[in-house]
Structure 1
Amino acid sequence: MRFDEQSPRFTPQLVTYLSISPAPRLSARQWGVLLLLQAAGYFGQFDRTIFGMAVPQIQSDFGLSDSEISYAASFVGFAAVLASGISCLSDRFGRARVLTWTLVPYTLATACTAVSTGICSFAIFQFLAAAFITAEGIISHVIVLEEMPAECRGWAIGALNTGSACGAGLALLLFGVSNGAWRLMYSLSILPLLGVGYVRRHLPETRRWSSLKDVSTARALQLEDPGGIQLPTTTMGSPVVKQQHAAILIATFLGSLFPSSANFNVSKHIQVVHGFGASGFAKLSLIGGLLSLSAFALAGYLGDRYGRKKLGVVGILVKTAVDVAFYSVAAGADSVAWIILLFCLRMALGMALDTNFQALSGEVFPTERRTTAQGFLVLTAGLGGPLGLLLSTRLVPYVGSVAAASRLLAYGQLICACIVCVWLPETKGRELEEINA
């Protein structure tokens, strides 16, 4: 694989053919970086998809109640705490180096999940796997933001997410073929170990982090020799910038808390309430995923062209309406078409919103603290998700069902739309240094 920065910018024919939105022209280095990160994300998403699909099977194998499986999922969700700490290391040691450190632990922890003897060992292995997979995802998105041109950062984030989603597609396919054999699927996660060495040798460090490191070194030398070249001082940011940072933290927390029950219970709602079963759910998810796969790159392109802020507000409003409708459809033969349509819409909207806010949340923080900030955002979301599940569990006795609790909490996403509309900046087409000036 070539990483020639001086090569003419081009668009591979395969990318042009597959992309539903206009694909950008990038250098060989940029295409190479994107491909390696897609490969890492592919296997990580394969691993993390299994738990969400196999909730009924895992619950049955371990003899768990609805509340017990929710508590286990909440515990795994707190892996964001460890992931945040791991990802912070890349601000000090480099993006590429720390990313390669995450690959071996997450593959081993996921493979060990296959031999879990009970829910405790299962939750511990999944906690470790989720921590390193999440850290890998954080760093991958930061690398894309720092390497890609300003006019197509959103598209590149969407392309990265598309590669990861293909891993989820493979998991869905195997889940259907194996009729929910989750232990077999977890055992296959050992295979990515074969490619760790290749990634370690070929993934370059980002130019922005390298430049920042050079400035830090020069600043250290300046302290030793005060008579040398004077470097510009760093600032902590204006009150407006600090307000934007606080707003995105709050929006991230609430955006994870309110839809967490709706997201977590999709598998069981489809398989049990609507009677699709494991095989039917896998087929539906695979078909819906294929139909929605273009949402990643399309959302990135639309954000690059029309603005991430505008797209985000509209997306949240539509997603809220779809979540409420999804959990309002009664079970029965007459509702099959509606539930399939709403399921596919939920999937596409989730993909689009993820792409939009992954770009926006990374752009508003400076390079020297970008990965630390992203890790803190993931920690914030990781706390919001489990708390949302716990809140849903507590609401069920009062509202009558999991579906009703999920529906009620989904309305809270409207608060996130207000925060994005009022306090977050527009970042489309602007260099990272300009956004953080």
Structure 2
Amino acid sequence: MSDKWYSGVTRYQWLVLVIACAGWMFDVYEGQIFNITRNDMLREILNNDEAAAKVWGDYFLAIFLAGGTLGGLVFGSLADRYGRRPIMIMTILMYSIFSGLTYFANDIYTVGILRFLVALGIGGEWAVAASLVAEVFPRKARAHAAGIFHASSILGTWLAALSGILVGTNWRFAYLLGVLPALLIVWVRASVKEPEKWQEARSSEVSGKVGSFRELLSDRRWSWHAIGGLLLAAVGLGTFWSVTVAGQDLVRELLLASGADQATASGRSKFAYGIVQAAGGGLGLLAFGPLCARFGRKPTFIGFQLAALVIVPVVCFVPQTYGQIVGLLPIFGFLTLGIHSGFAIYFPELFPTHIRATGASFCFNGGRLMAVPVLLFSGWLKGRPEVSLAYAVTGLSLLFVVGILIVFTLPETKDRDLVEANP
């Protein structure tokens, strides 16, 4: 029994994992509810202009990534300076309130502003939660716990999908549910303590460098870890928003081409993406942690991305019926989404405690900013009538090649204690 990864994990450590998962689940709900409802939302706001809806859809995703970047960088640094708990509370409150206010949006620019503000909170919350899990769990359980933390995103995707299906074209009601995470604040205040590692860093000789971007980028021990991690996240996030979420649109186009009406195509594509594909994605997220623990972080990243290069064109060109594409979507989700657990596992391991949230946030949320040009290009490419969606998505999936090359330049952290700086 002693060789099990979870042996010796305390009740408090499990509690921290549950709270982190709950926060991340609602993070993802706030992001995915837009993917689920955007066709209905944009058709209403843009008076059924399909071409404009496609372009604005990816523009809003780019705005969302930019907001997540800024929020992550700011709140990640603040979490290193002032503690994990207060910043987690602040970020949850922020994304909850502005999601709920989307219910009242009536024009394209108000939607864009609110999506940006929601993203500020989401970007910050991830960095705090990922660092907290890494610092609280012991070395042998760290990859598994961090993998479970990131895999909880599937619950947010399912919640968004079910909300989208239940509200139908009445998309505004789905955003009201975004207020519910504010209730987490009471639980966080009552249950979460600052990790010992953070308290030690605050009182150590490196305390003056806590949360410092200058320390992160000027010290050669950490600077390439930060840049390489940022580029790796940019590949993962760019392909997620331009490739993975396109599963819904691929299903919708197949159904429309088969003679289905708009309402039927919308409902069945939401189910295929939000439930079926998301189930495969969730399994990929859960599998990534144990595979990292067994084979190492780098081989697992490389293997998933190589396999993703194969499955994307298969899903884009092979299916001829709804049943066929639904059968492939779980594999598509498993391989294109699974690497995201690696970010929660790998990035906190690359940096010492006094800049851990800063560094992890710089990688993950800086990757959001680097992914913005991908989203803008994706919106332009998918909006061109002479380029089919299948060719556009397949072309965008070539970014996984870049991801593989980046992984080769980064260190392996398997079986290593969390790194600490020597001042």
Question: For this structure pair, what is the TM-score category when the shorter chain's length is used for normalisation?
Answer: 0.7 to 0.9
Contact in 1 for aligned 2:237/2:371 (Cα 8 Å): yes
Contact in 2 for aligned 1:152/1:301 (Cα 8 Å): no
Q: Secondary structure at the match of 1:433?
A: coil
Partner Cα separation in structure 2 for residue 146 and residue 415 of structure 1: 30
Give the Å deviation of 1:427. 0.9
In structure 2, list runs of 5 or more residues that go unmatched: 210-214, 257-263
Contact in 2 for aligned 1:30/1:148 (Cα 8 Å): yes
Partner Cα separation in structure 2 for residue 136 and residue 262 of structure 1: 24
2:261 corresponds in structure 1 to none
Contact in 2 for aligned 1:176/1:280 (Cα 8 Å): no
In structure 1, list runs of 5 or more residues that go unmatched: 1-8, 12-20, 221-233
Give the Å deviation of 1:217. 8.9
Contact in 2 for aligned 1:176/1:279 (Cα 8 Å): yes
After superposition, the Cα gap between the structure-2 partners of 1:414 and 1:185, relative to the gap in structure 1 and judged at 3 Å, is same
Matches within 5 A, 1:2-401: 23-63=6-46, 64=49, 65=52, 66-83=54-71, 84-216=73-205, 239=220, 242-258=223-239, 260-275=241-256, 277-284=265-272, 285-290=274-279, 292-329=281-318, 332-333=320-321, 336-395=322-381, 397=384, 400-401=387-388
1:18 corresponds in structure 2 to none
After superposition, the Cα gap between the structure-2 partners of 1:348 and 1:425, relative to the gap in structure 1 and judged at 3 Å, is same
After superposition, the Cα gap between the structure-2 partners of 1:89 and 1:107, relative to the gap in structure 1 and judged at 3 Å, is same
Q: Secondary structure at the match of 1:78?
A: helix
For residue 86 of structure 2, what is the amino acid of its counterpart? R
For residue 75 of structure 1, what is the amino acid of its counterpart? I
Contact in 2 for aligned 1:320/1:413 (Cα 8 Å): yes
Give the Å deviation of 1:201. 2.1
Partner Cα separation in structure 2 for residue 95 and residue 296 of structure 1: 24
After superposition, the Cα gap between the structure-2 partners of 1:164 and 1:395, relative to the gap in structure 1 and judged at 3 Å, is closer
Give the Å deviation of 1:242. 4.0
Residues 43-84 of structure 1: CA distance to partner in whole angstroms, max 9, x if unpaired? 222222101112211221112512233223222221123212
Q: Which moved more, 1:181-190 or 1:342-351?
A: 342-351
The TM-score normalised by the length of structure 1 is 0.83
Partner Cα separation in structure 1 for residue 37 and residue 329 of structure 2: 17
Structure 1 consecutive aligned stretches of length 4 or more whose deviation exceeds 6 Å: 217-220, 234-238, 434-437
Residues 397-425 of structure 1: CA distance to partner in whole angstroms, max 9, x if unpaired? 496233322211211211211221x2111
Is residue 2:402 matched to residue 1:415? yes
The TM-score normalised by the length of structure 2 is 0.86
Partner Cα separation in structure 2 for residue 219 and residue 82 of structure 1: 23
Q: From 379, 383, 406, give the equivalent of 2:393.
A: 406
Partner Cα separation in structure 2 for residue 350 and residue 82 of structure 1: 25
Give the Å deviation of 1:238. 7.5
Partner Cα separation in structure 2 for residue 78 and residue 320 of structure 1: 26
After superposition, the Cα gap between the structure-2 partners of 1:24 and 1:353, relative to the gap in structure 1 and judged at 3 Å, is farther
Q: Which moved more, 1:237-246 or 1:264-273?
A: 237-246
For residue 63 of structure 2, what is the amino acid of its counterpart? F
For residue 274 of structure 1, what is the amino acid of its counterpart? L
Partner Cα separation in structure 1 for residue 317 and residue 235 of structure 2: 22
Contact in 1 for aligned 2:131/2:348 (Cα 8 Å): yes
After superposition, the Cα gap between the structure-2 partners of 1:243 and 1:129, relative to the gap in structure 1 and judged at 3 Å, is closer
Contact in 2 for aligned 1:55/1:268 (Cα 8 Å): no
| Identical-pair percentage | 22
> Superposition RMSD on alpha carbons, in Å?
2.9
Contact in 2 for aligned 1:41/1:137 (Cα 8 Å): yes
Partner Cα separation in structure 1 for residue 38 and residue 56 of structure 2: 11
Q: Secondary structure at the match of 2:104?
A: coil
Contact in 1 for aligned 2:98/2:114 (Cα 8 Å): yes
Give the Å deviation of 1:128. 0.5
Partner Cα separation in structure 2 for residue 47 and residue 89 of structure 1: 22
Q: Secondary structure at the match of 1:215?
A: coil
Contact in 2 for aligned 1:33/1:204 (Cα 8 Å): no
Contact in 2 for aligned 1:260/1:386 (Cα 8 Å): no
Partner Cα separation in structure 1 for residue 25 and residue 238 of structure 2: 26
Contact in 1 for aligned 2:285/2:338 (Cα 8 Å): yes
Residues 74-107 of structure 1: CA distance to partner in whole angstroms, max 9, x if unpaired? 2222112321212211110011221111121111
Contact in 2 for aligned 1:34/1:160 (Cα 8 Å): yes
Give the Å deviation of 1:35. 1.4
Partner Cα separation in structure 1 for residue 199 and residue 2 of structure 2: 25
Contact in 2 for aligned 1:151/1:430 (Cα 8 Å): no
Q: Secondary structure at the match of 1:204?
A: coil
Give the Å deviation of 1:300. 0.6
Give the Å deviation of 1:240. 6.6
For residue 147 of structure 1, what is the amino acid of its counterpart? V
